[in-house]
């Protein structure tokens, strides 16, 4: 399956992703700038903030328990489509997912 990351400056990167992986992990393992994931997905750092593309927001689903608390501390603006990318697990239905990256994570 594929995921497309669109950076704040418009740079687009399409990567091959694995079902079951998180979006954060997919970004880091594919060397996509703009996602740090300092805590390795333990929901502890908010350096994996991303915006889910409007068209995909419903399929991905909203923030999970505790996510909004962490996002309160994110470095970039929090929008309704904001998620912690370490908390988005890739399911088959998310093939083709488009993720926008914030300006900064720190």
Partner 1 sequence: MDRIIIIGTGQGGLQMAASLRQEGFSGEILMLGEEPGLPYQRPPLSKAYMANGDAGALVLKPASFYERAAITLRDGVRVTAIDRATREAICADDTRHVYDHLVIATGARNMRPPIPGLQAPGVHELRTLTDAAAIRAALAATRHAIVVGGGFIGLEFAAMARAAGIAVTVIEAAPRLMSRALSPPMSAHFLKLHRDMGTEVLLDAKAARVLVDGDGHVSGVELADGRQVAGDMALIATGVRPNIELAEAAGLVCQNGILVDGTLATSDPAISALGDVAAFPGPLGQSIRLESVQAAVDHARHIAKRLLKAEIAPYAAVPWFWSDQGKYKLQIAGLLTEADEIIPLAPPDGEPATLLFRHGRLAAVETINAPGIHMAARRLIGCDIQTLRAHDFDLKAAIKAHA
Interaction site with ligand FES (CB under 6 A): 24, 37-39, 41, 43-48, 84, 86
Tell me which of ligand FES, partner 1, none is bound by residue 16, counting a contact when its beta carbon lies within the kind-specific cut-off of 5 to 8 angstroms. none
CB of 70 to ligand FES, least distance (A): 6
Rule CB under 8 A: say whether 31 interacts with partner 1: yes
Instruction: Return the number of the residue (13 or 53) whose C-beta is nearest partner 1.
Output: 13
Rule CB under 8 A: say whether 46 interacts with partner 1: yes
CB of 29 to partner 1, least distance (A): 6
Instruction: Return the number of the residue (40 or 80) whose C-beta is nearest ligand FES.
Output: 40
Three-state SS across the chain?
CEEEEECCCCCEEEEECCCCCEHHHHHHHCCCCCCCCCCCCCCCCCCCEEEECHHHHHHHCCCCCCHHHHHCCCCCCCCCCEEEHHHCECCHHHCCEEEECCCCCC
């Amino acid at each position: 399956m594929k995921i497309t990351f669109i950076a704040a400056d418009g740079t687009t990167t399409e990567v091959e992703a694995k079902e079951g992986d998180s979006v954060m992990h997919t970004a880091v393992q594919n060397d996509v700038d703009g996602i740090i994931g300092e805590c390795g997905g333990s929901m502890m750092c908010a350096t994996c903030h991303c915006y889910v593309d409007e068209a995909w927001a419903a399929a991905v689903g909203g923030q999970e328990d505790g996510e909004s608390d962490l996002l309160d501390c994110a470095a970039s603006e929090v929008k309704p489509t904001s998620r912690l990318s370490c908390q988005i697990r890739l399911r088959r239905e998310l093939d083709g997912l488009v993720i926008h990256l914030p300006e900064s994570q720190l």
